[in-house]
Amino acid sequence: MGCMFSHLAAKFAFFPPTPPTYHLTKNPDGKLTAVSASSSSTFPAAGDSSIDVRVVKTRRGNKVAAFYLRNPNARLTLLYSHGNAADLGQLVDLFVQLKVNLRVNLMGYDYSGYGASTGKPSEYDTYADIEAVYECLQTEYGVGQEDLILYGQSVGSGPTLHLASKLPRLRGVVLHSGILSGLRVLCHVKFKFCCDIYSNVNKIKKVKCPVLVIHGTEDDVVNWLHGNRLWKMAKEPYEPLWIKGGGHCNLEIYPDYIRHLYRFIQDMENTTTKSRLKTIWQEIRRQEESKGCCSFKLCRPKCPSCPKPSCDCGECGCCKCECPSLQGCFSCCKKPSCVGCCCPKFNCCSCSCFGKPKCPKCSCWKCLKCSESECCRSCCCAGCFSWLCCCGGGKRNEQKTRGETTVAKSEG
């Protein structure tokens, strides 16, 4: 049933130009050339080595057409996923402008069923298409994910975020008039349905690189709210570009478009692999610290690896762990060994910190074995947040006899 709905959704999502605006021919030297259907012009022109025309086979058996444009001054490569109503023949001029103005290498491709690509368009075919093109960039041009920026326009934001969610060291992502999901373009829903396609609202959370969102405020195809929410949900959002008065298919004509995009490319170039790894490790450390360093539910002491402690017992004001050893994190929760006395209120413990407390009537840790309840009150446990945590937990029954009545009390 879900597959049937997906095919139905594809009919409303993909509108490849018919007939295609170009076709491919093979030169006598074996190289492919694209021929425009309208002007019969060819690209690349004879002797032009700055453009490669390629055909890439996908894991789903289709063959997709791709154009690779070189820039000798480029440091980064842009992988461009276009919208749902265009093919490469209509975009080649834009690709040349982006290559020159942004100083990048650029790889554009047609989805299955578009242009000179074989097969029929579908959500999962576009995923296979972009994966195959990325593999081509790796094997044929030596482009790693650290030097790659993914660019997705409209429906192209779907395969873009699909690939971005799988590449942890990706340099950056650009979402141009991106969508939250296919169904959310048609109606405002907050739930996921089996017939929905391109669930970007979930995949954006898995992207670990800077995300630039570009959207027109007057977009009547994909509402501006889609771009705004994608930007807010990104883990590492870059300063967005909201083009006032911009529609769905005309953002490239606004001067701010190329200006802001160029600044983003420059910032990504200046972001070294070392600084990216540092940012990633800081994020991982921040997540670990938010969980706390103590697995016990008694106390999470303050220590160098846990600067933001939280406490479940609510009575551990004396816990100020300064123990240089890793075991010091549990110093007030259990009875680990420690090089010195960490707890300022454990004066009676002296330098035998968390060993056997100096108690005249109790020489063991487990006060439960002691018949004299007063020993627990006189030892270090009395000055701590709770003597039960120092003694290993459990209940203490203190019996006091008044006449013929015995009252049991549990301290903890």
Beta strands in 104-251 (DSSP E): 105-109, 148-153, 172-176, 211-216, 241-243
User: Residue 411 pLDDT > 60, yes or no?
Assistant: no
Tokens 């690189």 belong to residue? 209
Could you report the per-residue pLDDT of 87-137, keeping only the tens digit for each? Answer: 999 999 999 999 999 999 999 999 999 999 999 999 999 999 999 999 999
Question: What pTM was computed for the model?
Answer: 0.67
| Average pLDDT score over the chain | 77
Helix axes 123-141, 157-164, angle to 10 degrees: 60
Could you report the per-residue pLDDT of 330-382, keeping only the tens digit for each? Answer: 444 444 444 444 444 444 443 434 444 445 455 444 444 444 444 444 444 44
User: Residue 389 pLDDT > 60, yes or no?
Assistant: no
Model pLDDT, residue 220: 92
Q: Which amino acid is at 108?
A: G
- Average pLDDT score over residue span 290-312: 47
Residue 104 forms beta bridges with which residues?
none
As a whole-number percent, the residues of the chain with pLDDT over 90 amount to 54
Model pLDDT, residue 109: 98
User: Residue 321 pLDDT > 80, yes or no?
Assistant: no
- Average pLDDT score over residue span 272-276: 67
Model pLDDT, residue 100: 97
Q: Between these two residues, 43 and 172, which has the higher pLDDT value?
A: 172
pLDDT band at 318 (very low <50, low <70, confident <90, very high): very low
Model pLDDT, residue 274: 65
Model pLDDT, residue 188: 66
Q: Between these two residues, 138 and 197, which has the higher pLDDT value?
A: 138
User: Residue 226 pLDDT > 90, yes or no?
Assistant: yes
Annotated catalytic residues are: 154, 219, 248
Q: Between these two residues, 111 and 322, which has the higher pLDDT value?
A: 111
* Strand, helix or coil for residue 361: coil
Region of poorest pLDDT, from 55-59, 65-69, 197-201, 252-256: 197-201
- Average pLDDT score over residue span 232-239: 96
pLDDT band at 154 (very low <50, low <70, confident <90, very high): very high
pLDDT band at 191 (very low <50, low <70, confident <90, very high): low
User: Residue 207 pLDDT > 90, yes or no?
Assistant: yes
Question: Residue by residue, what is the 3-state secondary structure of 253-304?
Answer: HCHHHHHHHHHHHHHHHHCCHHHHHHHHHHHHHHHHHHHCCCCCCCCCCCEC
- Average pLDDT score over residue span 383-395: 42
Q: Which element (helix H / strand E) includes 136?
A: helix 123-141
Model pLDDT, residue 387: 41
Q: Between these two residues, 306 and 298, which has the higher pLDDT value?
A: 306
Q: Which amino acid is at 305?
A: S
Contact assessment for residue 52 and residue 46, using Cβ atoms and an 8 Å cutoff: no
Model pLDDT, residue 73: 94
**56 vs 53, 60, 203, 358, CA distance in Å?**
10, 11, 25, 77
pLDDT band at 243 (very low <50, low <70, confident <90, very high): very high
CB crowding 212-235: b at 16 or more within 10 Å, else e: bbbbbeebebbbbebbebbbebbe
Could you report the per-residue pLDDT of 54-86, keeping only the tens digit for each? Answer: 999 999 999 999 999 999 999 999 999 999 999
Q: What's the angle, vertex CA 120, arms to CA 87 and CA 41, rounded to 5? A: 30
Model pLDDT, residue 147: 96
